[in-house]
Amino acid sequence: MTDGPRGTGGAGVGGKAEARARWWPALVVAGLLGVFVGSAGYTFQYAEGLSYLSDDPTACVNCHVMRENYDGWRHASHHANATCNDCHVPHGSAVRKYWVKAEHGYRHSKGFTFNDFEEPIRMKASSRAVVVENCMRCHETIAADLTASDRGPGGRGGGHGGWFGGEDEYGVSMDCLHCHARVGHGPRR
């Protein structure tokens, strides 16, 4: 067939324009997707992303703002017994562990990229809950006393139970970190 008007079976000028009109949005989407995947891949490689899937504490100092926390951990009492992941990610479920790692990775990379994080860096409430959960997991032999409110003078389970899990007079959470914050990273600044 020869070129003919549209609708006559030919592949006239109208047919080529129609084909371009159908394909250009797909090409734009493919191009944008390629730029996104390429940028994400480069960023993941540049930031040594695979290192975050390990339990190696040096992965935490890929970002310069974590250096103080890492150095504090190296000199703190838990250095010989616990790595970053022992305290900062959940245990018992690989899905939950990597979900939290992904959440932290997203939040940290966003904060460092756009420079919108607090100095000094602070945990979110959900991260604090994971750390406290891990305190209780590792120290399970004393954990029962920590939450028992009917022991000790004044119903305060050996100095913990009556306070643990509540808030102090300033509304600050009364958990392991309230009194033992220096254990993981040394003195806070």
pLDDT, tens only, 83-131: 989 999 999 999 999 999 889 888 887 887 788 877 777 888 899 999 9
Please check the confidence at residue 159 and state whether its pLDDT lies above 70. no
- Cα–Cα separations (whole angstroms), residue 41 to 31, 48, 63, 110, 145: 15, 11, 18, 15, 48
Length reported for the chain: 189
User: Is residue 54, in this structure, part of any structural domain at all?
Assistant: no
124 and 179 together in one domain: yes
Q: Could you tell me the pLDDT band of residue 17, with boundaries at 50, 70 and 90?
A: confident
Distance CA 69, CA 60 (A): 9
Indicate if 38 and 87 belong to the same structural domain. Answer: no
- On whether residue 139 sits in a domain, the answer given is yes
State yes or no: pLDDT of 152 exceeds 70.
Answer: no
Whether residue 32 sits in one domain with residue 2: yes
Are 87 and 184 in contact by the 8 Å Cβ rule? The answer is: yes
Residue 12's pLDDT band, with cuts at 50, 70 and 90, is low
Mean pLDDT throughout 25-48?
Answer: 90
Are 175 and 128 in contact by the 8 Å Cβ rule? The answer is yes
CA distance 55 to 49: 13
Count: domains in the chain: 2
pTM of the model: 0.67
- Report the share of the chain in percent with pLDDT over 70: 75
The answer as to whether 91 is a domain residue is yes
In CATH, what number is assigned to the domain containing residue 100?
A: 1.10.3820.10
Q: Which two tokens stand for residue 63?
A: 């970002």
Range of the domain at 42: 1-46
Helix (H, G, I), strand (E, B) or coil at 155: helix
